[in-house]
Every structure is written in C-alpha cells, then in structure tokens.
Chain A
Amino acid sequence: MSYNVNEKGYYGEFGGAYIPEMLYPNIEELRQNYLKITAEPSFQEEFHALLKDYVGRPTPLYYAKRLSEKFNTKIYLKREDLNHTGAHKVNNTIGQILLAQRLGKTRIIAETGAGQHGVATATVCALMGIECVVYMGEVDIARQAPNVARMKMLGAKVVPATSGSKTLKDATNEAMRDWINNPVDTHYIVGSVVGPHPYPDMVARFQAVVSEEIKWQLREKEGRSNPDYVMACVGGGSNAAGAFYHYLDEKDVKLIAVEAAGKGVDTGESAATSILGKEGIIHGSKTLLMQTHDGQITEPYSISAGLDYPGVGPMHAHLFKTGRAEFIAITDDDAMTSGLELSQLEGIIPAIETSHALAVFNYKKFKPNDVIVINLSGRGDKDLDTYIKYFKL
C-alpha cells in the first residue's frame, strides 16, 4: 500500500476535489501544472535559494539533552521555529508564490486562523511585490492582534470573515468565495494540507523539505537516517505532513500525530478530529471532519488557534484509517504544562500547537535507545498572551 496521493487525488478513500463548477478552471489549471512547474530546474533553484538565504534553512536538528534525560529516551527537535516568520508555514508560501508567478497570477489570497499562515503569505507577497488579501475570522482578528498588525505592516489587506462562527473555517469559505469572484488573476495560497486536490499534495511536497533534512541530519548525528518515531502536532496537518513525508513508506519509522483534545475529548470542547470526526466533505476534500448527525460542520475548540480546524488533511485521515500513524489527543492543560517545561529545560519557548506534541511523553513510554524526532513547528512568541494569562506570569 502506498500512503501517498494517487493520480486522481485520493489517499485511499480520502481526498478528491469536491468543488463548485465555478472553481473548476482554477483547480484544473493547478492540477495540470503543479508537478510540471515545481519540477522545472529554474523553480527548484529559486525555491531552494530562497529557503536557504531568506528563510534560513536548513533548520537545526537539535538533540534535546535535558528533555531526553527527563523522559529517559533520545529526543531530537527539528527546529522549524527558527524559520523566518517563526514557523514551518513559510516553506509552503515560498513554494506557492513561485508557482503563482509562473502561472501569471497577479493577486494572492489566503485564509488564516491564528495568523501564522497569513503572516507567512503576506511576507512572500511583500518579497515578490504582489497584492495580498488575507481572510481571517472576526473572532480571530480580535484575539490575534499582533499577527494582524504584522500582516498590515507587510502590506497585506486583512478582511474579516463575518459569516458562520467567524473563525478559520469561515475564513476559508470567504477565501474560496473570493476565488470564485476572481477566477482569472488570483491564486489562493492554502495554508495546510487541506482543500481540494492538488492542494494537499502540493502543500505536503513544499513541506517535505522538513523530513528531507531530518534524514541527512540524523545520519550525521546517529549514523542512521530513520528514527524510531517521528512525532508532530496536527490541525490541518501541514507540519506533520512535512515531517512524515519521506518516512511514509519506511515501515520501521513509527509516526505519531498529536491532535488537540481541548478541554477533553468528551467535553464537547475539543478539536480531536480523528476521534470525533466522521467521513464527509469539507472545503472541497473528502476527509474526517467534526459534524452533526445531519452533516452540518461544527466548531472545534482548542486553546491553540492553529489546531482548531474541524477537519484534517486527507493524507492524515488515511494514515489514521490504515493505522499507519498513531493518533494521540492532548488537552489544553497538558500542552500548556509541556510548553513551560520545554522553556525551562531547553530554553526554547514553543508555539502552543507544538506543545501538544511534547506532552505525549507524559502518556507514552519510550525505550532509552529510541530515537524520537519531534517537529518543533513554531515558536511561542505569538502565544505569549495565552501563556501569560494561563500561568499568570
């Protein structure tokens, strides 16, 4: 069995492109061109040059000595938090802006939840001098003011999504509506491995640089390119997709996807999509999603704004269904505690999303010789307000 996408855009039974006819020409244009364009030597050259000189790649693979001692195992942190703009998101936006330019697009739109993808998009648009419009839920705009200011400084227009629950899913709806209204000149930079094919595969390929680097970095440090475990948090799933990508078909590497349990999986305030979700269609993709019995999409909850998406990428739905990846749900409280712990043991303040992955050590026992790579997807600067309130700092 392959865990990668097939020709029709499916991962097993998940994926596809369930889009209104109005989006068909745009999606078809992408589908026909994304592999061809991204394989061109000039594209690869420009992509890698920007990742190196602008983003700051390769990011370190750091052996976390004190954390490893505490849990009596070998823990490596893939430092995506050290990327320009502070998270893995920029790997994808660099890739997509180069693609958009080659498709002759002159206007960029994006959705954002916490604002990280919005900032990463606004950044590459400033870099290339392209008009940028970011849709963001009205509720998220209120609670993520610094990222809104960043986007504005970078020259982007931030448009509030006022429909539905006024959060990430509604911002995504608004971005898709914008694309319907502007089908010719606009490219939509989707921020995660979600949405209609080819987005999940395209975004995963741009994020795959993460596991590509882990392979050679781990060989340098441990004499082998395959760890025993790769672990990452999952909202839509782009950082996990990047960290898993080159290990999908390496059976000796166990994959762990960490979801946000919110206040607890059974409390009604959770974002643990694999456990609480059912197969359905969200934002053009057949996948697992949180919904009512009647098929209405419900609003998830997590303390981390980057994990409260009611769906999950189709690749992850497939990894869950086939058992290729183990899915673990971590509560707000456990994540916050682990975020503080990493800060004090290693001097690294992680994003709250990432803190969910770190909390797994409290629940799962690893052997002293196990090599575990955690994708440290983002830094905690954006979450300071939440940390301050939570710990009364």
Chain B
Amino acid sequence: MNRIIQKLQEPQKLLSIYFTAGYPELNDTVTIIKSLEDNGVDMIEIGLPFSDPLADGPTIQDSSTAALKNGMSSNLLFDQLTNIREIVKIPLIIMGYFNPILQFGVEDFCKKCQEVGIDGLIIPDLPADVYNEHYRHIFEKYGLINIFLITPQTSEERVKFIDGISNGFIYMVSSASVTGSQSGFGNEQEAYFKRIHNMQLKNPQIVGFGIKDKETFTQATQYAKGAIIGSAFIKNLTFNGVNSIELFTKQFKA
C-alpha cells in the first residue's frame, strides 16, 4: 500500500513539512529528511526548485534561487535520494513545477520516483483537467499519488471533481495567497475549513499556506487531517540552520 494512504489512516493530526532540495547547502537533502523523521514529522514535501515559481512567495522563491545556484537539478535530487528508503519510512512527496518534469520526461520522472521510493507528487501548475486527460495513467502505472490543490475560490462543483480524481488527500490552500504571506487565520478561513469539512469528501484534507506555529497548526487541523508547513520552516533553516530542526518541530508536537 502507498505510504501516504497508510499514514492517512493513523489517528493523529498529521504534521507535514516542506523544504527546498539543495537549500541551504546542496547536499543537505538527506540530512534534513532524516532529521524530520527522527523528530516525529509525519510526511515530507521535497521541493524541486524552479526558476519561476509562480505560486510561491519570497521565502520559497529565494530558497529556490539559492538551491539552483548551488547546483540542484532533477537528476541530482534523484541521485541524493537513491538510498533514502534504507533510512526513512515516512511518506515522501516531491513538489515541483511542471516544466522541469516535462523536460525530464513525465514517464521517466515518474519511473525514477518509484525507483527511489517517492510516494506522491504535487505539481501546482499541472491543472487537474490536463492531468486527468493526459498523465493520470502514467502516475498510476508507477504507483504515484498526485495531489491537487483547492482554494477558498474553488467552486463546489470543482472541489467535487478534484475529490473524484484524487486518491490520497486534497491540499487545501488556506487563503487566496501565494505561500508564506499569511498572518494568522480569521473567521473567513474557519468558515472555509468548515465548509469543506461539511462536504464530506472521500479524500481527507491537509491544509497548507500560512501555517507557521502551534496556533495556526491547531486552527488548520481543527477540521482537516493535517497541515503543511513550508515558508516558516525554510525561514528557520535560513536563520538557525539544519541543527535547529529538532527545536522547530517540537512546538507542533507539544
């Protein structure tokens, strides 16, 4: 069974962390993944850096630019992950924009993911409709779960469509914003979380964008299965380094 689906069956609210591969240093990838697992993180999104990350705010943009400057590439990431399944058991997801994957070759990319033990993909600029029509069979062939985003503006009809073609979880973007631009959740978000919860979708939801501390994590997971922390984690890496991961993750597990 796919590790994502197994993990979703566990009772706890899931803590998922995003980081950009190749940042702060080129070869930090495995160290960061291992440290996250050791510190009780439930799931990891490994960011494949892109030169033009449309959906990301300045923190993830800057980490992507730095990672590319450090020399990160699709090939190198797969090299770094070659033996990852010997040391890490939690679900690993690659999050990246579509063009680098297209240049690698969608089928080759999926095949590589399966070989190194990646469980799913999040590709923000691959629309659900295009995926469904052209790429779904490839992802399924290699046992990969593709994860789609919904936002507060996504119509009810489209949420149902996305739920229909999803087979893991739905990535629920907390508000109309790029990553890292939130300052806490208000009534509007709560109403949205509740509205989606009440739709009784077949896929659980994990909230992302704007989760930065225990308070926002708790708010986000009141109705959802888990939450993803990205920009706040990258900021912590920037200022406090790889050794600070234990301290950073502790606050969410308390």
Contact = CB atoms under 8 A, between A and B. Distances in A.
Contact of B125 (A18, A182, A298): A18
Contacts of B74: 294-295
B176 A297 contact: no
Contact of B100 (A16, A181, A294): A294
A295 B99 contact: yes
B61 interface: yes
Interface of A: 16-22, 24-25, 163-164, 169-170, 173, 176-177, 180-184, 278, 280-284, 291, 293-298
Contacts of B70: none
Contacts of A297: 51-52, 99
Nearest to B61: A163
Contact of B54 (A24, A176, A184, A295): A176
A22 B128 CA distance: 12
Contacts of A182: 176
B127 interface: yes
Interface residues of B, number: 42
Interface string B29-66: 00000000000000000000011111101100110010
B154 A25 contact: yes
A20 B158 contact: no
Given A164-B65, A181-B178, A284-B125, A25 B55 contact: no
Given A18-B125, A164-B65, A294-B103, A24 B154 contact: yes
A19 B52 contact: no
Interface stretch (B79-87, B144-152, B215-223): B144-152
Name the residue among A18, A181, A182, A280 with the largest chain B CB count within 10 angstroms.
Answer: A18
A176 B55 CA distance: 8
Given A22-B55, A163-B62, A291-B99, 12 more contacts: A17-B127, A18-B130, A21-B128, A25-B154, A170-B52, A177-B54, A183-B176, A281-B99, A284-B125, A295-B101, A296-B51, A298-B51
B99 A21 contact: no
B58 A163 contact: yes
A19 B100 contact: no
A281 B102 contact: yes
Contacts of B154: 21, 24-25
Contact of B50 (A18, A180, A296): A296
A309 B136 CA distance: 32
Interface string B175-209: 01110010000000000000000000000000000
Given A177-B178, A181-B181, A284-B125, A21 B54 contact: no
A20 B99 contact: no
B203 to A, nearest CB: 15
Nearest to B155: A25
B116 interface: no
A25 B130 contact: no
Contacts of B65: 163-164
Which 4 residue pairs are nearest across A and B when measured between Cβ atoms? A295-B103, A295-B100, A21-B149, A296-B51
Contacts of A177: 54-55, 57, 178
Most chain A CB atoms below 10 A, which of B98, B103, B154, B173: B103
Given A163-B61, A281-B99, A24 B124 contact: no
Contacts of A25: 153-155
B103 A293 contact: yes
B73 interface: yes
Contacts of A184: 153, 176
8 contacts: A20-B54, A21-B150, A22-B151, A163-B65, A182-B176, A280-B99, A284-B54, A296-B50
A257 B126 CA distance: 30
Given A281-B98, A291-B103, A19 B125 contact: yes
Contacts of B53: 173
Nearest to B62: A163
B138 interface: no
A18 B100 contact: no
Contacts of B153: 22, 24-25, 183-184
Contact of A20 (B55, B101, B102): B55
Contacts of A163: 58, 61-62, 65
B68 interface: yes
A280 B103 CA distance: 7
A283 to B, nearest CB: 8
B130 A16 contact: yes
Nearest to B96: A295
Contacts of B158: 24
A21 B173 contact: yes
Contact of A295 (B102, B124, B125, B181): B102
B52 to A, nearest CB: 5
A296 B100 CA distance: 7
Given A294-B73, A295-B99, A295-B104, A22 B155 contact: no
A349 B101 CA distance: 45
A281 B52 CA distance: 11
A293 B102 CA distance: 11
A264 B75 CA distance: 31
Contact of B102 (A21, A183, A280, A283): A280
B151 A21 contact: yes
A23 to B, nearest CB: 8
A291 B98 CA distance: 13
B125 A20 contact: yes
Contact of A173 (B54, B99, B103, B127): B54
Interface centre among A20, A284, A297 (most CB of B within 10 A): A20
B68 A296 contact: yes
A183 B151 CA distance: 11
A362 to B, nearest CB: 35
A120 B153 CA distance: 30
A18 B126 contact: yes
Contacts of A21: 124, 127-128, 148-151, 154, 173
